[in-house]
A and B are shown apart, each in its own frame.
Chain A
Amino acid sequence: MTGLITRRIAIAGSIGAASLLVLRVPAFATPTEMAGAVAEFTGNASVQRGARVKLDLPPLVENGNSVSVTVRADSPMTDQDHVRAIAIFTERNPQPNVITARLGPRAGRAFLNTRIRLATSQKVIAVAGFSDGSFWSDQVDVIVTLAACVE
């Protein structure tokens, strides 16, 4: 039994050391910092939650170093009615901004797909700015699993 516990501690210790390497950052951003980054993006306009924006990413992530994220907004993308910008923010990465894309009627579709880093399990938010001045958002809570065999 003693041998078992020793080995468990050895492994737990090794995983702890590995996660330290990955997560050793000055500090995590906070929900407040994320709210600040969103406000900067919207120019302090209010953001509505709703069906006009859809953020897609897997709820369970096997490696936080590269997570495919897709944002789609419901818009005809005409000169009169289109999405001008799509931005992604995270709550607990070292800093909240991820990407801010500028687009317009020439895009045909309000669509963005990229790959992002997630330092830990957290909330990810996508905000789209529409040509009528409104902002809409969607959010997903993501669990980032801890990898065992890190280098």
Chain B
Amino acid sequence: MIRFIAILLLLSLPAAAADIPASERRSGYDFMSPATQEMQRDDALNPAMLWVAEGEAQWQEAPSSAAKPCAGCHGDATASMRGVAAGYPAFDERTGKAIDLQQRINACRVTHQQQPAFAAESRPLLGLAAYLGLQSRGLPVQAPDDPRLAPALQRGEKLFHTAMGQLNFSCTQCHDANWGKRLAGSPIPQAHATGYPIYRLEWQDMGSLQRRLRNCMTGVRAEPFPYGADELVQLELYLNSRSAGMTVETPAVRP
């Protein structure tokens, strides 16, 4: 009880958390139990690989007789997509906005394959994102370097530091100021989104970073931004810059 109050005391302090120094940055992987870590390390144990298999099939299959498959333009993903996912969200010329990897996949699907966009969190969309993410596994996260992304990046940073919801917590209060401590039975990680989409044991399912962000917002009793909202992409962009240089783990497992 005393510890619970102590945590709450910390969390109820005004947000003045400093950024985590580069030398102290740690992946969520480091906060997991050895059993869950093993599940991520061994592809034969990792349920996320079922989605990767789905994505690989999507990559190869033409969605209609009139449309080319992804591979028809992009060829072998293990070569053409190497390192690509590590640099998302990226600037989209067409809309003049930041878009994340799943929005890029859907944009390609609508524009070049003349197909309806995949629904958020649908199996083929998560599958393709996981399959493309895997092509960057082991590579460093690329910080957004397009100057046209600067405004979105700033808005993402501001959102990360904005208290919200009935509990009035900001991201930074948990993930910068109190990482490593526990909230109920769970350690608070540093919010480095280096392994998305992830297989989360809590979900018993695969999910995107947007699902996780919405999940966090529900946790602090805030109305979550809808899937695809600019605010979620801006947060993704800021998280990407915050984790720049860390290793891509997609497809990761988290508790």
Contacts and interface: CB of A to CB of B under 8 A. Distances in A.
A and B touch in the complex (CB under 8 A): yes
Nearest to A117: B204
B202 A63 contact: yes
B12 interface: yes
Contacts of A149: 183, 186, 202, 215-216, 219
Given A4-B12, A10-B167, A14-B221, A145 B185 contact: yes
Contact of A146 (B12, B35, B184): B184
Interface string A65-79: 111100000000000
Contacts of A150: 202
Nearest to A8: B8
Interface in B159-215: 166-167, 183-186, 201-204, 215
A66 B203 CA distance: 10
B58 interface: no
Given A149-B215, A151-B215, A62 B167 contact: no
A84 B239 CA distance: 52
B120 interface: no
A68 B201 CA distance: 12
A58 B35 CA distance: 8
Nearest to B9: A4
Contact of A8 (B5, B39, B216): B5
A4 B6 CA distance: 10
B247 interface: no
A147 interface: yes
A29 B221 CA distance: 34
B201 A7 contact: no
Given A8-B5, A62-B36, A63-B255, A147 B185 contact: yes
A3 interface: yes
Contacts of B9: 4
Contacts of A146: 184-185
Interface in A48-89: 58, 60-63, 65-68
Q: In the complex, which range does the number of interface residues on chain A fall in?
A: 20 to 34
Contacts of B221: 10, 14
B55 to A, nearest CB: 22
B111 interface: no
Contacts of A14: 219, 221
A45 interface: no
Given A4-B9, A8-B8, A62-B255, A68 B185 contact: no
Given A4-B12, A14-B221, A58-B35, A148 B186 contact: yes
A60 B185 CA distance: 10
Contact of B4 (A3, A8, A58): A8
Interface of A: 3-4, 7-8, 10-11, 14-15, 58, 60-63, 65-68, 145-151
9 shortest interchain CB distances as A-B pairs: A145-B185, A148-B184, A63-B201, A148-B183, A63-B255, A66-B201, A62-B255, A151-B215, A65-B201
23 contacts: A3-B12, A4-B12, A7-B8, A8-B4, A10-B167, A60-B33, A61-B33, A62-B33, A62-B36, A62-B255, A63-B255, A66-B39, A68-B35, A145-B185, A146-B185, A147-B184, A147-B185, A147-B186, A147-B202, A149-B183, A149-B202, A149-B216, A151-B203
Given A10-B221, A58-B34, 11 more contacts: A4-B9, A7-B167, A8-B4, A14-B219, A62-B36, A62-B255, A63-B255, A65-B202, A147-B255, A148-B186, A149-B215
